[in-house]
Copies of this chain bind each other. A is one copy, B any other.
Amino acid sequence: MTPSRQEEQRGNLGEAIKEAAWEQIAEAGASSLSLRAIGRALGITAPAIYNYYEDRDALVTALVIDAFNSFGDRQLAARDEFPGPGQELERLRATGLAYRQWALDHPHRYLLIFGNPVPGYQPPMQELLPVMMRSLSALTGCISELHALGRIDLTAIPRPLCEPGNRFFAMLEPADDEARAVYALAMLIWSRVHGQVSLEITGQLPPFPGNGAALYEFELDSIARQFILPN
C-alpha cells in the first residue's frame, strides 16, 4: 500500500504549504492564492492549513519573510563578491545589478514585497522590520563606507522626518543626522532602481539591449556619477 501524500509530507507540512503557495504564486500571481488549491495540491483539505498558519494573512507573512530573506541573501552575496578595500564602488554596483537580477529571477516575490500591498493584507511590521533592514543593509552599508571615505557629499540630501506611525519609524528613530542622510540617499537610490525594475517586470517598459540591462546600467552609472566622488 503506497503511503498517502499526507503521510509523505507529515512533519514538514508547514514548509510544504509554503512551497505549494510559491508554485501557485509563480503561476497566477500573489493575490490569487487559494488555500483550497494548496490543500488540493498536497492531498489535504483547506482547513488543515489552519494548524500551521493562523489564517491566509499569516501564510502571506511567512511568504513575505522568506522572500525578504531570499532577496537579502542575494544582496549580501553580491556585496561580498568585492570584499577588498578600494572596491567600494564595485560593491555598490554589484548590489545594484543583483537587485535587478533577483527581481527578474523571482518577479512574483519581488512584487509581493515591493509592489502593491495584497488586498486586505496588513503587514505586521514588527515581524518584518528585521528582515527588511537586513536586506537593505547591503545598500546602506555601501553608502556608509563610501561616506566614511569622504567620497559622498550628504549635505544636499534631504533628511526624512521621523514621525511615528511610519513604516520605518523604528529604523529612523535611533539614527543621528548622518545616519538619516545615509538612509535618505539609500531610499533615493532604491526608488530609482525600484522604478525601473518594477516597470520592467510588469511589462511596462520596452525591451532594451543587453537583456534589457542597457537602461538599467545607464541608471546605475547615473547614480554613481551623481553621488560618488571619484578617487
Chain A residues close to B by CB (< 8 Å): 28-32, 111, 114-117, 119-120, 156-163, 166-169, 172, 183-184, 187-188, 190-196, 198-199, 202-209, 214-215, 218-219, 222, 226
**Contact status A206-B160, CB under 8 Å:** yes
**Contact status A188-B219, CB under 8 Å:** yes
**Contact status A215-B188, CB under 8 Å:** yes
Q: Choose among B169, B191, B208 the residue that contacts A160 (Cβ–Cβ < 8 A).
A: B208
Please give 15 more A-B residue pairs, beta carbons under 8 A apart, in addition to A116-B202, A192-B192, A195-B198.
Answer: A29-B119, A29-B120, A31-B31, A115-B116, A115-B202, A158-B209, A160-B208, A167-B206, A184-B208, A184-B215, A187-B205, A191-B195, A191-B196, A194-B195, A222-B226
**Contact status A161-B202, CB under 8 Å:** no
Residues of chain B within 8 A (CB-CB) of A161 are 206-209
A206 to B198, CA, bound (A): 19
**Contact status A203-B119, CB under 8 Å:** no
A163 to B194, CA, bound (A): 24
Residues of chain B within 8 A (CB-CB) of A218 are 156-158, 188
